[in-house]
Structure 1
Amino acid sequence: MYLPDHFAEARPEELTRIIREHPLGVLITHDAEGLDANHIPFEFDPGAGAHG
């Protein structure tokens, strides 16, 4: 996926803040029937390894 530099976020503390404040995402898939969007929760456990 192309991500322009001005939209990129690489600071771990900022990514953690975003996940905590907005813990719901959308997984979008495409198959022969078309697009499908499913809401999924983000789970963040800071004690589970280097990246939570």
Structure 2
Amino acid sequence: MPTTTYAHFRDVPESAWRWPSFSSAEIACRGTSAIEINTEAMDQLQSLATASEIR
């Protein structure tokens, strides 16, 4: 699975964040604020979040 890593969640470019139901801060490590983004997993989570909003 493709994973992108940033040293801090604030380093994630706004143009790269395509999951409106989530923020990079809530996905980041609580201790270091580092973030590893698995794009396939995030796409699936966004699909679930969108589907639950419709109901």
| Same structural fold, with TM-score higher than 0.5 when normalized by the shorter chain | no
Which structure: greater strand fraction?
1
Which structure: greater helix fraction?
2
TM-score of the two chains, using structure 2 as the length reference: 0.28
The structure having more radius of gyration, on CA atoms, is 1
